[in-house]
Amino acid sequence: MPRYALKVEYNGAPFAGWQRQADQPSVQGAVEAALARLEPGPFTIAAAGRTDAGVHGLAQVAHCDMAREWDPFRLSEALNHHLKPNPVAIIGAARVAEDWHARFSAVERRYLFRILIRRAPPTHQAGLVWHIRHDLDVDAMQAGADFLIGHHDFTTFRSSICQSASPVKTLDALQIKRIGTPWGDEIHFHVRARSFLHNQVRSFVGTLERVGAGAWGPDDVRTALNARDRAACGPVCPPHGLYLAGVGYPEDPFA
C-alpha cells in the first residue's frame, strides 16, 4: 500500500487534542474522517507527536496508507475539501517509503510558545496566546532557561501521567525573544529536542514566567531541575499559547 506523509496545520481550540477519542472531537479523528471520504476505511494515521487539548499545530506531520496511488497535490486538495469546516488544513503531502514513520523516523521536534504582554485582553489573538498583563524580563528568563539546555533528568518538568520510559532527555535549544507586533509585545519561546516529556514545554514556560516576573531568580531554575521532584516545578502554563512548530527528519519528505 502506498504511504504518504502529511503536513498538518490546525487550531487546537475545538479539539480534545490530536489523539482520536471515542466521545470528543480530535484532530486525528477529523483527518481520518476526511480520508474515509476518499477511500473505504477505516483509517488509522500516525503522527510525530500527540498534542494536548487546546494546543495548536503549525507543521504537525502524520502518515497514512492508501489503497491506490494518489498524486500528492491532489490528495492534499481532496483532504482539505473534506476537512471543512474543521480548522485543520493539509499544507503538504508527499509519497514516502513504506517503512517511513512520522513518529519513529523523526529526529527533532520544534515547539513555539507565545505570550502576549499587554493590559487589555486579546481579541483577535484570543485562544492563540497566553495573555499576561505584567511585563517580563527576557534576559532573566533566558539566564534561567540556559540551565535547562543539555542532557538532564527532567523529572521536575514532567507530568505525573507522563508515559515516557525515562525522564532523561536532551534539550537542544530554548531561546526566548521579545517580538513587537501591531497588537502588543509578544514573548516567544523556541524549544527544540529529539523528543519531549508530557507537559515539559508548558512546565518550562510556566516556571520561566515566574523568573521573568521576578518571583524566582534564574538560579532557582537550576535548583528546581536538580531537585528531580515535580513539586519543585513552577506553575504549568495554559495550553493555548503552545504550537508544534515543526518536525525534523534525516531527509525532508516535503522538500
Does 140 share its domain with 219?
Answer: yes
Does 222 share its domain with 120?
Answer: yes
Question: What is the domain-level CATH number for residue 163?
Answer: 3.30.70.660
d(CA 252, CA 255): 5
User: CB under 8 Å to 194, separation ≥6 — which residues?
Assistant: 106, 107, 108, 109, 169, 170, 172
Given 105, 125, 155, which residue is the final one in a domain? 105
Given 45, 78, 105, which residue is the final one in a domain? 105
Other CB atoms within a 10 A radius of the CB of residue 250 amount to: 8
For residues 61 and 48, the answer to whether their CB atoms sit within 8 Å is yes
Residue whose cell numbers read 493539509: 90
Q: Which domain holds residue 48?
A: 3-105
Q: Is 52 a catalytic residue?
A: yes
Q: From residue 58, how far is each of 11, 68, 170 by CA, in Å?
A: 9, 28, 23
pTM score: 0.95
Given 105, 132, 155, which residue is the final one in a domain? 105
Q: DSSP letter at 98? A: T
pLDDT (tens place) for every residue of the chain, 255 residues total:
899 999 999 999 999 999 998 899 999 999 999 999 999 878 899 999 999 999 999 999 999 999 999 999 999 999 999 999 999 999 999 999 999 999 999 999 999 999 999 999 999 999 999 999 999 999 999 999 999 999 999 999 999 888 888 999 999 999 999 999 999 999 999 999 999 999 999 999 999 999 999 999 999 999 999 999 999 999 999 999 999 999 999 999 999
Q: Is the N-terminal amide bond of 238 cis, ω within 30° of 0?
A: no
**Tally of CA atoms within 13 A in the half-sphere of 215 that contains its CB:** 11
Which member of 23, 52, 135, 220 is catalytic?
52
Is 252 contained in some domain? Answer: no
